[in-house]
């Protein structure tokens, strides 16, 4: 049987680890009878997308994201609606999608999953035509992603530091949401759109979300008193966000959100600026993943 062509795309900054020696370690565990492997290191943001497009053109059979949700996003958006699966070696700060898919952060265990080669199909989402696979968001959520992207300290400590710096001065915004025809007007601290349940680090914003149900979970977080912040954190980590009086979660397929102004949004933790009006759609069964 011909060997499958597998390419590892390694993000050298994700999770704050350089990953020197990654190729050597991965080759130790990868089944060389099954796979002919190539390893590429990304040199800048969006480079993983460029490399993925090139590999697809050259007939790769499997692409591996070695990084976090941002790296996965860059590669997976190129794989949408193709028959080529994405595999993940969780090397990010939060690893939200990998955790949901139960991909171990132990390298030999994660590579053994690739050797086993079991493929599932998951949904993805589009915000104004741009893909996300884990969680997208606006409001406080997007502001924090913006600040986190500029930050040198990756990981939960760096994240928490920024949250604490910004939370007391943030003011909620007005939103009009149309979720599959149901209109809601809300003042919100933030709105997250979840394809899978957690941001990463086991912080569950949408405990009931599943990435293969053809639905997105719209999570509206209302302004809460600052004293309630520890309780909100408790809800996130105990998978009980839906039980908070400040959280409303509604499932939908086609969502239109009108904000006060154009501004920041994040897709899988990666910040960008989008229009005031956001049109969000689910793309059911659009990505194949090894898990
Ligand atoms: N060589 C590089 N130099 C600088 N940035 C890079 C490079 N290669 C990739 N990137 C960028 O690194 C960013 C962070 O990647 P990623 O999201 O995978 O890691 P993370 O934020 O640590 O993890 P997670 O998203 O799981 O919390 C992405 O925006 C990606 O575009």
Looking up residue 77, the CATH number of its domain turns out to be 3.40.50.10330
Q: Which of 85, 117, 149 lies at the terminal end of a domain, its last residue?
A: 117
| Residue closest to 249 by CA, chosen among 201, 183, 191 | 191
For 144-195, the pLDDT digits (tens) are 988 888 776 666 777 788 888 899 899 999 999 999 999 999 999 999 999 9
> Do both 113 and 136 map to the same domain?
no
> Do both 135 and 75 map to the same domain?
no
**Cβ contact 61:36 at 8 Å:** no
CA–CA dist 251, 253 (Å, integer): 7
Question: Does residue 291 form part of some domain?
Answer: no
Question: Does residue 217 form part of some domain?
Answer: yes
Strand pairing class (173-179; 254-258): antiparallel
How many other CB atoms are found less than 10 A from the CB of residue 116? 11
For 245-255, the pLDDT digits (tens) are 999 999 999 99
Ligand 1 site, residue 155, Cβ cutoff 6 A: no
Q: Which of 64, 92, 117 lies at the terminal end of a domain, its last residue?
A: 117
The three-point CA angle 220-98-136 to 5° equals 25
Q: Where are the alpha helices (DSSP H) in 167-290?
A: 229-237
Nearest CA to ligand 1 atom 2: 44
Count of the separate structural domains present in the chain = 2
> Do both 134 and 91 map to the same domain?
no
pTM recorded for the entire structure: 0.96
> Do both 261 and 138 map to the same domain?
yes
Domain region containing 211: 130-284
**Cβ contact 127:280 at 8 Å:** yes
**Cβ contact 237:246 at 8 Å:** no
Find the helix or strand (DSSP H, E) in which 198 lies.
strand 198-200
CATH number at residue 271: 2.60.200.40
Question: Does residue 194 form part of some domain?
Answer: yes
Question: Does residue 290 form part of some domain?
Answer: no
Ligand 1 site, residue 269, Cβ cutoff 6 A: yes
> Do both 29 and 164 map to the same domain?
no
The pLDDT assigned to 152 comes to 66
ipTM above 0.95, yes or no: yes
| Mean pLDDT split into 10-residue runs, the chain, 291 residues | 95 93 98 98 98 98 98 98 96 96 98 98 98 98 88 73 90 97 98 97 97 98 95 97 98 98 96 97 98 96
> Do both 77 and 140 map to the same domain?
no
The pLDDT assigned to 124 comes to 98
Question: Does residue 182 form part of some domain?
Answer: yes
> Do both 208 and 277 map to the same domain?
yes
Q: Which of 117, 149, 175 lies at the terminal end of a domain, its last residue?
A: 117
Question: Does residue 124 form part of some domain?
Answer: no
| Residue closest to 270 by CA, chosen among 158, 170, 141 | 141
> Do both 164 and 271 map to the same domain?
yes
> Do both 16 and 79 map to the same domain?
yes
**Pair of tokens at residue 245:** 């009086």
**Cβ contact 260:236 at 8 Å:** no
**Which residues pair with residue 188 across a beta bridge?**
173
On the CB side of 58, CA atoms within 13 Å amount to 14
> Do both 277 and 203 map to the same domain?
yes
Q: Where are the alpha helices (DSSP H) in 151-266?
A: 155-166, 229-237
Question: Does residue 33 form part of some domain?
Answer: yes
Ligand 1 atom with least separation from CA of 16: 22
Question: Does residue 123 form part of some domain?
Answer: no
Neighbour-count burial for 67-92, b at 16+ CB within 10 Å, e otherwise = bbbbbbbbbbbbbeeeebbbbbbbbb
> Do both 139 and 244 map to the same domain?
yes
Ligand 1 site, residue 198, Cβ cutoff 6 A: no
Ligand 1 atom with least separation from CA of 12: 1
> Do both 89 and 202 map to the same domain?
no
Handedness of CA 243, 247, 248, 249 (dihedral sign): negative
């Amino acid at each position: 049987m011909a060997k499958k062509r597998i390419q590892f795309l390694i993000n050298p900054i994700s999770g704050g680890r350089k990953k020197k020696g990654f190729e050597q370690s991965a080759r130790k565990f990868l089944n060389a009878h099954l796979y002919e492997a190539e390893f590429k290191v990304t040199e800048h943001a969006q480079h993983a997308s460029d490399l993925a497009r090139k590999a697809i053109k050259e007939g790769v059979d499997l692409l591996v994201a070695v990084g976090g949700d941002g790296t996965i996003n860059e590669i997976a958006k190129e794989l949408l609606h193709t028959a080529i699966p994405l595999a993940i070696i969780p090397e990010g700060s939060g690893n939200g999608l990998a955790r949901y898919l139960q991909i171990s952060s132990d390298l030999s265990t994660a590579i053994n999953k690739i050797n086993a080669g079991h493929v599932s199909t998951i949904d993805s989402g589009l915000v104004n035509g741009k893909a996300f696979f884990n969680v997208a968001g606006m409001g406080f959520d997007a502001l924090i992603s913006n600040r986190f992207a500029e930050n040198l300290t990756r990981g939960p400590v760096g994240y928490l530091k920024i949250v604490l710096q910004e939370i007391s001065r943030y003011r909620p915004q007005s939103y009009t949401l149309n979720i599959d025809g149901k209109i809601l007007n809300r003042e919100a601290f933030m709105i997250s759109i979840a394809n899978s349940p957690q941001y990463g680090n086991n912080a569950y914003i949408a405990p009931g979300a599943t990435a293969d149900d053809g639905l997105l979970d719209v999570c509206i977080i209302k302004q809460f008193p600052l004293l309630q912040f520890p309780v909100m954190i408790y809800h996130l980590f105990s998978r009980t966000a839906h039980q908070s009086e400040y959280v409303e979660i509604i499932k939908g397929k086609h969502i239109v959100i009108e904000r006060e102004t154009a501004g920041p949004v994040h897709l899988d933790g990666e910040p960008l600026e989008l229009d005031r009006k956001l049109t969000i759609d689910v793309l059911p069964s659009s990505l194949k993943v090894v898990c």
